[in-house]
Homo-oligomer: A and B are copies of this chain.
């Protein structure tokens, strides 16, 4: 089975957007309260993924998507903790319903109700709900709830520790994933996303976070931002700072996905990062939707690149496509067994 560890529900029915618009309008109007939950039928849910995520799964031969709400829609900068919690609730409920409709195609990862300046303890309740009640196997953690102004403490600050304790207790990893950018300097998917990835890695490199949490696991998406391309720089910076080698320092805890949309990038990734640390992903239907005129295939059809890397053995591919995801998302096997039972 090929597991895609990074898929977002980017094709939700308009009722979801409408709910969010009403929510934002209430805030702008200075009113507290939550709009009525959107009414979306099972048929609407089916229709929203049949011609998109499921079609691509079938066409590309990928089997199971680790699925979460639309990342750019998380919008943690909007409203307060209660607003973010209501929004996460609605978004995660839809993921749960899709997982129930398509138990062979989707397994859930949750959006967290983060808010700038609000301690991440506020996200614990929703994480527990999604893991315990819905069988979700991870979460998306936003390192910058402000949306491009980077006002909260680094991921290695004790500010985040209570949330990490819950992650460890529940045995779920987090994908580090920013949301929309409100800063005109940062294009969302072209700059803010990639910067968020690079920034998180460097935070980990300079800290002893994984001494405090030896079993904490993070996936850095988008191929690790700039990190594999600058692997020599990062090895050198760690060495200059008298830190342990990267392998020892963080590669038991930090993993990269394969959302890199051309063969040379995937070749670099698989050459410099240990195979054990690479998880297959496509981010579909996501950041880049078009077909590459140079190949005739979708830019985000990343399986083609991995299949084309000559230096990978079949055992390597099996790790990237399946075994690593099963290891990093420790609850996945249990969840699949439960569904099969």
Contact = CB atoms under 8 A, between A and B. Distances in A.
A242 B14 CA distance: 25
A226 B194 CA distance: 7
A144 B185 contact: yes
A183 B151 CA distance: 8
B150 A183 contact: yes
Interface in A76-98: none
Interface stretch (A61-69, A134-142, A287-295): A287-295
Interface residues of A, number: 60
A85 B65 CA distance: 55
A199 B185 CA distance: 7
A252 interface: no
Interface string A199-214: 1011101100000000
A260 B228 CA distance: 11
Contacts of A102: none
B290 A239 contact: yes
A190 interface: yes
A56 interface: no
Interface in A18-59: none
Contacts of A289: 236, 240
A336 interface: no
A70 interface: no
A260 B229 contact: yes
A236 B299 CA distance: 7
Nearest to A294: B235
A230 interface: yes
Interface in A223-242: 223, 225-226, 228-237, 239-240
Nearest to A269: B229
B199 A237 contact: no
Contacts of A201: 191
A202 B187 contact: yes
Nearest to A266: B232
Given A229-B260, A236-B261, A240-B289, 13 more contacts: A187-B202, A187-B203, A190-B233, A198-B226, A226-B226, A229-B229, A229-B268, A230-B260, A231-B265, A236-B289, A236-B290, A237-B288, A264-B268
Which 7 residue pairs spanning A and B have beta carbons closest together? A232-B262, A232-B261, A226-B226, A236-B288, A229-B229, A236-B299, A190-B202
